[in-house]
Structure 1
Amino acid sequence: MSHYHPCVPVQDPPKPDADVRGRLASIGTVLIVVVIYAGALVGYHYIAGPAKTLSPPDLGESSDTIVQVTLQAIHPVDNQVDVKVMVYPADEHMNTDLNVVNTDIAVRLFQDEINLGGDLETAKGQLPAEIATTISATGDPDKWPFDRYTIGALGADVLVGTGDDRRFEPARVEVTGNLNSWDITSTRSGPATQSLGDGDYQTVTLSRSRGPLAFDLGLCLVLFTLPALALFVSIEMLRGRKNFLPPFGTWYAASLFAVIPIRNFMPGAPPPGAWIDQILVLWVLVALTAAMVLYFVAWFRRSD
């Protein structure tokens, strides 16, 4: 009596070479991503370099009257800089036992020989207090991110005494502080009436650091890539080379509404209507809108 034995197909064992190649490909992909990421970080820090900041203020000798201006924040669109002003009177105007001034003192801070406001007064028997104020900066914010701003020349005079007995005394301006994403340099000019010997006035120049400039360039490349990809996909679907995929509609909408947030995310976002809006942002929006129109034309042709 014969028995029927069904034929069971025998599966070939997996090929070890294919598994090894797959693992090597995965490891290689990860290594490539890591190398690109590390290279981008190193390149960014190399391009950025050290920030240019102002050196600590030189308070000089005790015989000097010094007006220290500390930079706090810059508002490029308004051409204004927030500062704090502190007066360090000369020893002859101080009661060293009580650490207060021994006479009435008023400081007049001026920029390009123009008084910036009222006198910063300190009455006899008090200690000069730090005062917050705003000064103007000369520059064109529409040139972002290559805009530069100049403050100065900053100078100061000190009025000592009361009533008709008041008299002018020279003071030396010292500008200090740092602003994130800005390179700051300063030069001295004017008379040298104090112990420093290289001018009582100080002119400050602010320009954007190279690090934020590189970051702005990267975001501009992102803005350029979005419409390029959108137009390529839409044209391929319209010509029938690629299948029409309905989920792409949400991708187009997300890309369109991401343009303005990306633009505003740029360090020190430019004022509305700046050259980048005219040259890049507007045309990115137009190209994305055109890509959406082509996408809907492709949908209309293939709809039932």
Structure 2
Amino acid sequence: MLRTARVPRLSVRSRVVAAVAIGLGAVVYLGVVLLYAADLSASDHRVVRLGDDGTDLALVVKPRSIDPVQQEFTFRVEVEAGSGLVDDGAGLSRAVRVEIRDAAEGNRTQTVMFGPDALSSETLASTLSSEQRLEMWPFDRYAAELEFTVEQEDGDGEFHPLAADLLIDGGIPGWDIAAADDELDSSDEKAFDASVTIGRSFSTMAYAIVLNASLILMAVIALVVSISVLRRARQMELIFLGWIAGMLFAVPALRNFLPGQPPIGSWVDFLIVLWVVVSLIISLAFLAFTWFYSHPSRPRDDPSQSGGADGRHG
């Protein structure tokens, strides 16, 4: 009668460790998903109000894209007019001119005209200044210093300053956009500054933390296995060499999968990626050393003994 092999039961300690590991993984998973969902919801519903609240004209700035490499912030400018500035609900009764001065680009001024026929919009770009450079990813931060001047055309074709309300409407997934204003009053113009600060969102940081933690865990596992084999606590298997080599090729792919693709030479390379690669290479060296000395090559047969056991040729 054949006896079935008994499967060893896990100890209580092993069960507790497995349950804690599964629970921790579930918490991390839910945390990252909820942060991403909250970031998307905040981007869709984020509204920052600056300027003169309660005016008949609102200048709406809608962020469109951020290029940290070129340090460029692209946004769309629209106007929303009250009943006092709209002609029969079809458009502005008179033309409105908006001047946007970019302090980071040597006070470059961009002019947008909104005609009386329709409430149009236009896409503009602003230069960002770095509060923390891109190499500090994901803690890099940027700022856009913009000054808005709104003027309305009168019956003689001349433009006069017009008080306006400024709305920064919406956001960009993966980025946290905040703004503050510093209103400027003078005798001949009505202007207000908008200081826009841009940084990575919490969901992007959580993504980066999880992926970097996975890289570190991969290096730790490789070191534990290789040191165990080197100390003869575990049997050497030739497949270990291919396994470590495969992880070495996986590191660059995982590194390039980081959100925002930080440039080569960022702090994350010196703090994590470099040492993960070094750990994997050391693990590979340990395994190669153990394999070399645990599998000596067989000596070749002596040709003089090939004639028989007694050494005589037949």
Give distance in 2, aligned partners of 1:220 and 1:31.
23
1:49–1:210 Cα contact (<8 Å) kept: no
Alignment counterpart, residue 23 of structure 2, candidates 35, 58, 75: 35
Give distance in 2, aligned partners of 1:90 and 1:38.
51
Q: Please state if 1:146 is matched with 2:134.
A: no
Alignment counterpart, residue 232 of structure 1, candidates 220, 224, 230: 224
Match of 1:94 in 2: 86
Give distance in 2, aligned partners of 1:204 and 1:250.
50
SS in 2 for 1:242: coil
2:143–2:195 Cα contact (<8 Å) kept: yes
TM-score if structure 2 supplies the norm length? Answer: 0.72
Q: Please state if 1:157 is matched with 2:144.
A: no
Give distance in 2, aligned partners of 1:287 and 1:33.
24
Query: CA 1:49 to 1:210, structure 2 compared with 1: closer, same or farther past 3 Å?
Result: farther
Query: CA 1:92 to 1:72, structure 2 compared with 1: closer, same or farther past 3 Å?
Result: same
Match of 2:73 in 1: 81
Tell me the alpha carbon deviations over residues 201-255 of structure 1, each in whole angstroms, 9 at most, x when there is no partner: 3322223233332332222222222223223333443454432211112211221
Query: CA 1:162 to 1:235, structure 2 compared with 1: closer, same or farther past 3 Å?
Result: farther
What value does the CA root-mean-square deviation take over the aligned residues?
4.0
Alignment counterpart, residue 268 of structure 2, candidates 259, 262, 276: 276
Match of 2:96 in 1: 105
Deviation of 1:69 (Å): 0.6
Give distance in 2, aligned partners of 1:248 and 1:19.
26
Q: Please state if 1:175 is matched with 2:168.
A: yes
Q: Please state if 1:135 is matched with 2:126.
A: yes
Match of 2:292 in 1: 300
**Which residue identity lines up with residue 160 of structure 1 in the other structure?**
E
Query: CA 1:132 to 1:102, structure 2 compared with 1: closer, same or farther past 3 Å?
Result: same
1:71–1:177 Cα contact (<8 Å) kept: yes
Match of 1:67 in 2: 59
Tell me the alpha carbon deviations over residues 280-303 of structure 1, each in whole angstroms, 9 at most, x when there is no partner: 212222222232233333333325
Q: Please state if 1:250 is matched with 2:250.
A: no
**Which residue identity lines up with residue 71 of structure 2 in the other structure?**
N
Give distance in 2, aligned partners of 1:162 and 1:277.
62
Match of 2:278 in 1: 286
**Which residue identity lines up with residue 121 of structure 1 in the other structure?**
M
Deviation of 1:172 (Å): 3.5
2:176–2:200 Cα contact (<8 Å) kept: yes
1:151–1:203 Cα contact (<8 Å) kept: yes
TM-score if structure 1 supplies the norm length? Answer: 0.74
Segments of structure 2 that go 5 or more residues without pairing to the other structure are 298-314
1:73–1:83 Cα contact (<8 Å) kept: yes
1:212–1:267 Cα contact (<8 Å) kept: yes
SS in 2 for 1:109: strand
Query: CA 1:50 to 1:273, structure 2 compared with 1: closer, same or farther past 3 Å?
Result: same
Give the share of equivalent positions with the same residue, in percent: 22
SS in 2 for 1:173: strand
2:94–2:154 Cα contact (<8 Å) kept: yes
SS in 2 for 1:245: coil
Deviation of 1:256 (Å): 0.6
Give distance in 2, aligned partners of 1:238 and 1:78.
49
Give distance in 2, aligned partners of 1:274 and 1:253.
25
Give distance in 1, aligned partners of 2:96 and 2:23.
62
Q: Number of matched residues? A: 283
**Which residue identity lines up with residue 234 of structure 1 in the other structure?**
S
**Which residue identity lines up with residue 55 of structure 1 in the other structure?**
V
SS in 2 for 1:273: coil
Give distance in 2, aligned partners of 1:29 and 1:235.
23
Query: CA 1:55 to 1:119, structure 2 compared with 1: closer, same or farther past 3 Å?
Result: closer
Match of 1:187 in 2: 180
